[in-house]
A and B are shown apart, each in its own frame.
Chain A
Amino acid sequence: MTGPGLDIRLVACAKTFTDGTRALEPLDLDIAAGETVVFLGPSGCGKTTTLRIIAGLERPDPGGRVVFAGRDVTPLPVEKRDIGMVFQSYALFPNMDVAGNVGYGLKVRRIPAVDRRRRVAEMLEMMHITELAARSVDQLSGGQKQRVALARALAVRPRVLLLDEPLTALDAKLREELRIEIDRLLRNLGITAVYVTHDQAEAMALGDRIVVMERGRVAQVGTPREVYLSPANPFVARFIGTLNVVSGEAADGHLHLPGGRLALNGAGSIPASGRLSVAFRPEAVAVIPLINPGDQPHPDGGLIGTVTAAFFLGDHIRLVIDGAGESAIVALAPNHHRFTPGDRVHLAVDGGAMPFAEG
């Protein structure tokens, strides 16, 4: 199948549009051959711009360079870069049928018709759309269209695959299904892939590494585990997953909150006293239902609060708890518990509360 991908280096790639918009601050990034890197960030943070610079659809500002496998490709336009692209809007050729779309890149490369047909059939089979070969593209569902787009991009055996929010236009179930398929494809083909999304679940599932971006800057580069468990800054922490942030007075190794106090031993270098914020993930909270009205928080650290909302999500229950901190705290509880709004609960936060400097 497709040969091993190539490695990509971005050197000081910045982008200022002609209208003066600074879409990207100088960016340096190394992407290993065969790696899947996901660009993640809120709308307008420069993900698409970065992808288009890699593709050659956009030139970086002077001084920026794009290097493919040691070769500077900055001056090369997109058609000379040997890449595959997949767009959120599918961007299929409306005047060609499915097979015509998938075979287009081969036709441009003057591959003989016999080989072309064989390759197209192979691609259609790989994407499980063989029966759609003769369909016109406006008779396809969104999921089918994106399968055609993937087959079309992969048919020419590109060494880099660039995907810009390929699943955003699809409904949740299809998104999951196609995401698993894309993951399988990228692993099997060993192709270098750059994937843009603003969906953190997608980023976690697909990325070998995630590049979190914020307003044209890289906020953090790391494995899904790293960005989730040790976010580089409050922005990353808030953007990836749900994060509880509580503020209170620190004294004698504890953070004092309306619903009790939290031990600060797990939180690294923390000032002994003064006003402080800490953050923790919902799954770091152990929730115990309280029965007696007179129950007190655990002396080693614990908070008491009231359930204001409980969502049964199948594999767990998601709780919103008031009164423990100044603002609501989100916690997860095992699904065998039963909670109703108004229940009093005890919260213990597992050692991993992070010191949190408000950005």
Chain B
Amino acid sequence: MDRRDTPFLILLALPAVIVFSAFFLLPLARLVMVVGEGRDGLATYAVVLTHPRYLESLVATMVLSAGVTAVTLALCGVVGVFLTRNRFFGQRLVVAMLTLPLSFPGVVVGFMIIMLAGRQGLIGDLTQALTGNRLVFAYSMAGLFVAYVYFSIPRVILTVMAAAEKLDRRVEEAARSLGASTWRVTRDVIIPGLAPALVSSGAICFATAMGAFGTAFTLATRIDVLPMVIYTEFTLNANIAVAASLSIVLGIITWVALAIARSLAGTTVSAAA
């Protein structure tokens, strides 16, 4: 890059810097300050991280998000590759259906899970007829899990399909000609080829699940996930400092998870053998 270009480049970056400061840095700083001004001051962070209720919800949210990410990636990896490799009648429709949740607010997704697995739900009716027991899981972790997977699928599957489209089939054929079974080819060629897409879409999936609110608001009547706890502390208990510190912890954890995922992806791509 030419040295003379620098002022010009700074000028070009200026709008982004302004927007970033106004809508991101300032509110964040304010959030940090809110914590400091609270009853316990900066010790609020310690409270948040040691108090069983907060800690439990934090761990539960992370486990849930990690599980959702793993299942969504596995599902979308298989389905995405299948959909790019096979042409069949109604294929466009399937893709369209899979990406439909993109346009739903979280509340609608929650509502759908209630219709599926709630007290009056489809699964309930079915299990009642078959076993005599009504299976209801909409309001449990399982319900949240299904809902999160459902709304994570579109983001992940579109990324996976774009990446699968670009995989070089000759490389797979070379592996097969060397005696590799379908499973070996998947492990040694397809997954490494998809790794960057899986990591980036997995990171987004994890972050979204960590912060998802609408769905949790609809379903999580008996369970504490972090966004719900923040909401309760903020609106019902007016415990603003705790809400703010929880928000910041949520942000940091998500950010760290994404950073780890990214560096992991870097090493798998360059060092796998």
Contacts and interface: CB of A to CB of B under 8 A. Distances in A.
B165 interface: no
A79 B176 contact: yes
Given A96-B272, A136-B270, A55 B170 contact: no
A93 B184 CA distance: 13
A94 B193 CA distance: 8
A78 interface: yes
Contact of A79 (B168, B181, B188, B272): B181
A93 B188 contact: yes
Interface string B142-176: 00000000000000000000000000101101111
B269 A95 contact: yes
Interface string A88-114: 010111111100100011001100000
B199 to A, nearest CB: 14
Nearest to A77: B176
B192 interface: yes
A267 interface: no
A79 B170 contact: no
Contact of A100 (B176, B178, B273): B273
Decide if the interface of chain A is mainly helix, strand, loop or mixed: mixed
Interface residues of B, number: 22
A87 interface: yes
A307 interface: no
A94 B173 CA distance: 14
A96 B273 contact: yes
Contact of A78 (B176, B189, B268): B176
Given A91-B170, A91-B171, A95-B269, A153 B176 contact: no
A213 interface: no
Decide if the interface of chain B is mainly helix, strand, loop or mixed: helix
Contacts of B272: 95-96
Contacts of A87: 170, 173-174
A83 interface: yes
A324 interface: no
A84 interface: yes
Contacts, number: 77
Contacts of B178: 79, 84, 104-105, 108, 152-153, 156
Interface string A134-178: 001000000000000100110010000010000000000000000
B180 interface: yes
A57 B176 CA distance: 9
A89 B170 contact: yes
A57 B173 CA distance: 8
A40 interface: no
Nearest to A19: B87
A95 B192 contact: yes
A123 to B, nearest CB: 13
Contacts of A149: 174
Interface in B251-273: 268-270, 272-273
A93 B179 CA distance: 14
B18 to A, nearest CB: 39
Contacts of A136: 270
A85 interface: yes
Contacts of B192: 93-95
B188 A104 contact: yes
Contacts of B173: 57, 78, 85, 87, 91
A79 to B, nearest CB: 5
A85 B174 contact: yes
Nearest to B271: A95
Nearest to B171: A91
8 contacts: A83-B177, A84-B177, A87-B174, A93-B192, A94-B193, A95-B192, A108-B184, A136-B270
Closest 8 CB pairs of A and B: A105-B178, A91-B170, A95-B192, A85-B177, A91-B174, A100-B273, A108-B179, A79-B176
Interface of A: 55, 57, 77-85, 87, 89, 91-97, 100, 104-105, 108-109, 136, 149, 152-153, 156, 162
